[in-house]
Amino acid sequence: MIPATMKKFFLPILVLFLFIQCKNQPAIPTGLVVEKAMVVSAREEASKVGADIMANGGNAFDAMVGTQLALAVAYPRAGNIGGGGFMVYREADGAIGSLDFREKAPKSAHRDMYLDSLGSVIINMSTLGATSVGVPGSVAGILEVHKKFGKLPLAAIFEPVITMAENGVVVTAKQADMLAQYREVFTEVNSDSTKFGAVYKEGDIITYPKLAATLRTIVEKGKDGFYKGEIAQKLANFIQKNGGFVTEDDLASYDVVWRKPIAFNYKGLKIISMSPPSSGGVTMNQIFDMIAPFDIGTFGHNSEKTIQVFTEASRRAYADRNYYLGDPDFVDIPLDVLLKDSYLEDRMTDFSFDKATKSSDVSHGKVEIVESMETTHYSIVDEEGNAVSVTTTLNGNFGSKLYCDELGFFLNNEMDDFSSKAGVPNMFGLIGAEANNIQPEKRMLSSMTPTIVEKEGELWMVVGTPGGSTIITAVAQTILNAYEFDMSMQDAVNAPRFHHQWLPDIVTFEPEGFSTELKTSLKAKGYFINEERTPIIGKVDAIRVLADGSLEGGADKRGDDMAVGF
Ligand code: GLY
């Protein structure tokens, strides 16, 4: 028999010992595990195109080109050639980099282009139809990646996608719902005869012969095949005929930029993410630095204390995001200050577990949040160990809803990611400042956060998500789920998420996984929670490298997402 006094000491020590033991055990995978190479994307068809490219001798960069194009066919609400995006990569030897293929404002754009004579924002002008279209960057992006890193001939990468576009793709239940939801607006923006004015049911097959022809021209003529000549002429005419601003000259002038990614340490991890004009890397760096002094691993996953620390760090980071960040080619961003340890330590000095900080005490502003699931992310690892993390977007669902029937693709409404008027929220509820005002050929600020994580100097995770302003917090929580809370990749992706973005001063929770007691206790401390709004937050697609070098996929159960590999 153990004496009662010993029990008193022994039991807590045993519990702590078991907890530490358990935490040190690698999580048992619950997602697809493959030995060599994997793609995780929003559609099985697109993941398969990428995985097949690698099985046929291509590398992760070739697979990126194929997956990007396949998503334009299989997932047209966000997959695109009429939008833009960002890629973060880590080569097998550890070299890192990133590509900015974000859209640009047309040359005729100007700061007040979406304001009326009284200085008010004109409803829908930056969100719907041709007036909202920025100069697309995706085609230039994939061709640049192929030029720098590609192994297979471009034609071999394009061919399966062209075949897919010609043969068609099956409509999923989720896709049928989405198309039904937008059908009326497609005909309003385009015409009754537009392709997406038709009714598509689950199981129907949609073919894209016009897109297949556009892709053939690109493969034959390269970048000029899209940005100059016949396609550019048709595209510019089409946008202008519908009242938009993009000209042939804008298309001919478009180019991508290789940028140095944001890289920072969090405890035993090195996190590599996108630099401005994406706010993803900077904001995530700030959040991680502000939570690092807290041992959230012992607080527990989605516990009250973890939610408080994460929310308060997000509050402060988003306030900085909205004020300081914009296109670095146009504005000076004080990154040396924003990412400095002492600055971030200082930002958290007024944090207390006893009560919420008021967003109005952090800075100023007033907005309504409108979260959404647009944008799409895919993660790729190849057999050699090259990793590619890409988030790409049309901005809104199906972008501007403007569909170029002649060329076979949707056009973005990325101009809404600029701050049309300082202090007025965009469609994600984010308010912007001067740093993100509209200027000719400037790139609009983004929240896209394609990310790669190293652990002990080795590739550990490739991760990203759609979700507008919620992208940054969803990516950060997925990394924490795996690292601090020892979840498998699939469980880390599935786990319920919450979000806070400074303004509005509301913490948003997903429908499942957060108890009434937890919310009541947070409210008592002064957190504002709208219990009637419990949207889905993000749709994370990720890959984790396991101890034996095999790969575990995390394909978000919230969508049709799928991991495919070999
Ligand atoms: N269009 C969404 C983003 O770039 O964050």
Tens digit of each residue's pLDDT, the chain (566 residues) = 455 555 555 555 555 555 555 455 679 999 999 999 999 999 999 999 999 999 999 999 999 999 999 999 999 999 999 999 999 999 999 999 999 999 999 999 999 999 999 989 999 999 999 999 999 999 999 999 999 999 999 999 999 999 999 999 999 999 999 999 999 999 999 999 999 999 999 999 999 999 999 999 999 999 999 999 999 999 999 999 999 999 999 999 999 999 999 999 999 999 999 999 999 999 999 999 999 999 999 999 999 999 999 999 999 999 999 888 999 999 999 999 999 999 999 999 999 999 999 888 886 333 333 434 579 999 999 999 999 999 999 999 999 999 999 999 999 999 999 988 877 766 666 656 788 999 999 999 999 999 999 999 999 999 999 999 999 999 999 999 999 999 999 999 999 999 999 988 999 999 999 999 999 999 999 999 988 889 999 999 999 999 999 999 999 999 999 999 99
375 is catalytic: yes
pLDDT of residue 374: 78
Which helix or strand (DSSP H or E) is residue 33 part of?
strand 33-34
Burial class of 541 by CB neighbour count within 10 A (0 to 12, 13 to 18, 19+): buried
Q: How far is the CA of 83 from the centre of ligand 1 (A)?
A: 10
Distance CA 543, CA 20 (A): 25
Q: Print burial letters for 91-129: b (CB count within 10 Å at least 16), e (below 16).
A: beeeebbbbbbbbbbbeebebebbeeeeeebeeebbbbb
In angstroms, the CA 497 to CA 229 distance is 47
- Estimate to the nearest angstrom the gap between the alpha carbon of 392 and the chain centroid: 7
Nearest to 447, CA basis, from 537, 531, 530: 537
Nearest atom in ligand 1 to the alpha carbon of residue 395 is 1
447 lines ligand 1 (CB under 6 A): yes
- Which of 471, 473, 475, 499 has most ligand 1 atoms within 8 Å of CB, for mutation? 471
Could you tell me whether strands 205-206 and 169-170 are parallel, antiparallel, or unpaired per DSSP bridges?
antiparallel
Q: Which atom of ligand 1 is nearest to the CA of 469?
A: 5
The 8-class DSSP code of residue 112 comes to T
pTM comes to 0.94
Q: Atom of ligand 1 at shortest distance to CA of 416?
A: 1
For residues 188 and 54, give the distance between their C-alpha atoms in angstroms, rounded to a whole number: 42
Q: What is the pLDDT of residue 359?
A: 84
Task: In whole angstroms, give the CA distance from residue 222 to residue 139.
Answer: 9
Where along the chain do its domains lie?
Answer: 32-99+134-255+380-417, 262-371+449-565
Residue of 316, 265, 313 whose CA lies nearest to 287: 313
Catalytic residue among 67, 247, 375, 451: 375
Residue 467 CB–ligand 1 contact under 6 Å: no
Cα 359 from chain centre:
25
Tokens of 479: 């990394």
Q: Give binding residues for L-glutamate as ranges.
A: 102, 393-395, 417, 446-447, 468
Q: Whose CA is nearest to atom 1 of ligand 1?
A: 395
Q: 395 in ligand 1 pocket by Cβ < 6 Å?
A: yes
CATH of domain 262-371+449-565: 3.60.20.40
Nearest to 227 by CA among 128, 327, 144: 144
